[in-house]
Structure 1
Amino acid sequence: MAKRIDVKDLNAYYGGFKAVEDVTMTVEPRSVTAFIGPSGCGKSTFLRTLNRMHEVIPGARVEGSIRLDDRDLYGGEVDPVAVRRTVGMVFQRPNPFPTMSIFDNVAAGLKLNGVKNKARVSEVVEKSLRAANLWTEVKDRLAKPGAGLSGGQQQRLCIARAIAVEPQVLLMDEPCSALDPISTLAIEDLISQLKSRYTIVIVTHNMQQAARVSDRTAFFNLAATGKPGRLIEIGDTTKIFSNPVERATEDYISGRFG
């Protein structure tokens, strides 16, 4: 079941440096929300706060509130590992486990979660590969290394691995930046299909991609180098790209900076 994300007054730090300041937003379930903005404005940092990966970095911390439906992700009783099962992540560069087969890459999370029934594991692996539009390409070589696939196939394998554990939210940090145009189109088509079942948040430097795949767009910016990133504006993608409220948003989208 896709979940709604409510963020309120969020600040993210690396040691004493405030990287993201005072972000408040809502991410709707069963939709795609794109984060855009110039490099260094805190988009990826903020994305990682949504599944508690930010705090994995030594000295990193978060202030404020992130709620998944009614559950406070930073509550004292909440297990960060459980959060990361609920809020999956796909990274900028495809990162299949290099020593594992295609099958074992997808099954890794299931086995980590204690699923031992081989029939159940096989069923979920096939279902996940089908959902990632990869099954027909790999069904006859499931025992081959995942690292032997093309870049676009590896990224879809990583998406299959992420959804195999049935998350409610899927975060994607520039998932197409290392891919060729044909593979990029395949990932974009996949995102459009997956949003009927998941809440999807994507960071992208490609504004055309944001316009193509997202329902809502959030523009981040920073006042100057060394200053924290801030959410400038969030709204329906069509409105953000055609009639933004903030001048800075219009300047960025029209290419005046960034």
Structure 2
Amino acid sequence: MAKRLDISDLSIFYGDFKAVEGVTMAVEPRAVTAFIGPSGCGKSTVLRSLNRMHEVIPRAYITGKIALDGEDLYGRDVDPVRVRRSIGMVFQRPNPFPTMSIAANVLAGMKLNNKRMSKAQADEVVESSLRGANLWNEVKDRLNKPGSSLSGGQQQRLCIARAIAVEPDVLLMDEPCSALDPISTLAIEDLIGKLKQDYTIVIVTHNMQQAARVSDQTAFFNLAGVGQPGRLVEMDATEKIFSNPHEKATEDYISGRFG
């Protein structure tokens, strides 16, 4: 687990529209990388391209290269389903399967991958994944209750448990706390700090304080104007980005002068 992502001259298109242009960066293993920037600058688009989720939109394609420990994720013989198995995604709003139990939600990804397990093996995966998501103690006595019966913060941790159950190499999080209250947000942030010991994590956030708290490196995206492609302005250690960035645009955004 925990592999390095290398992105080289990445441009992302939706038909004739170029959404992102010329992104080059390295995402380090066992660390949290935060993507920040104003709405529409392409940070979520780049995030979704890392596990080929953007391809669910018709006529979407990329140029450039994204490699996971040297393997080209867009190679001719690479199965997108295998990519999404090794690079998991946690979305903005908690999305447990409402008709499934808590336990069944955790195992959903493994069932989709047609992985056969004994009941004992399944029970072990459920417990280890829920422990990994720091949720086990809260739900261990009601594993057969619907996932939708949990609070919003618990549902998001259930979605994280579902994502890590398939043992991915990378975990992508698209504004995972934007729909949560402050206490649930703190719980997710604490969890991210623990998960980075085993996973490569990339998080998109509009919350500057959150980026400063949880990430090891930060990438600032921006765009020149409406209809222009998003670009990576700069990327560096989070402490440096927030205290002494190279680019004035980064400083202006972080200090709230625009965006």
Fold similarity call, TM over 0.5:
yes
Look up the equivalent residue of 2:83 and give its one-letter code: V
Name segments (4+ residues, structure 1) moved above 2 Å.
none
1:115 CA displacement: 2.4
1:165 CA displacement: 0.1
State whether structure 2 residue 147 is matched by structure 1 residue 146: yes
Aligned position for 1:218: 219
Q: Is the 8 A contact 1:174 1:203 kept in 2?
A: yes
1:86 CA displacement: 0.1
Supply the distance in 1 between the matched residues of 2:5 and 2:205 (Cα, whole angstroms): 19
Aligned position for 1:197: 198
Supply the distance in 2 between the matched residues of 1:139 and 1:38 (Cα, whole angstroms): 40
Look up the equivalent residue of 1:103 and give its one-letter code: A
Aligned position for 1:170: 171
1:112 CA displacement: 2.1
Aligned position for 1:116: 117
Question: For residues 236-255 of structure 1, what are the structure 2 equivalents within 5 Å?
Answer: 236-255=237-256
Supply the distance in 1 between the matched residues of 2:118 and 2:13 (Cα, whole angstroms): 42
Aligned position for 1:107: 107
For structure 1, list consecutive stretches of 5 or more residues without a partner in the other structure.
Answer: none
Supply the distance in 1 between the matched residues of 2:21 and 2:116 (Cα, whole angstroms): 40
1:117 CA displacement: 1.7
Secondary structure of the residue that 1:143 maps to in structure 2?
A: coil
Supply the distance in 2 between the matched residues of 1:110 and 1:191 (Cα, whole angstroms): 22
Question: For residues 37-186 of structure 1, what are the structure 2 equivalents within 5 Å?
Answer: 37-113=37-113, 114-186=115-187
1:118 CA displacement: 1.6
Query: Under a length normalisation based on structure 2, what TM-score does the superposition of the two structures give?
Result: 0.99
Look up the equivalent residue of 1:255 and give its one-letter code: G
Supply the distance in 2 between the matched residues of 1:72 and 1:59 (Cα, whole angstroms): 20
109-118 vs 55-64, greater mean Cα deviation? 109-118
Secondary structure of the residue that 2:18 maps to in structure 1?
A: strand
For structure 2, list consecutive stretches of 5 or more residues without a partner in the other structure.
Answer: none
Look up the equivalent residue of 2:120 and give its one-letter code: A
123-132 vs 107-116, greater mean Cα deviation? 107-116
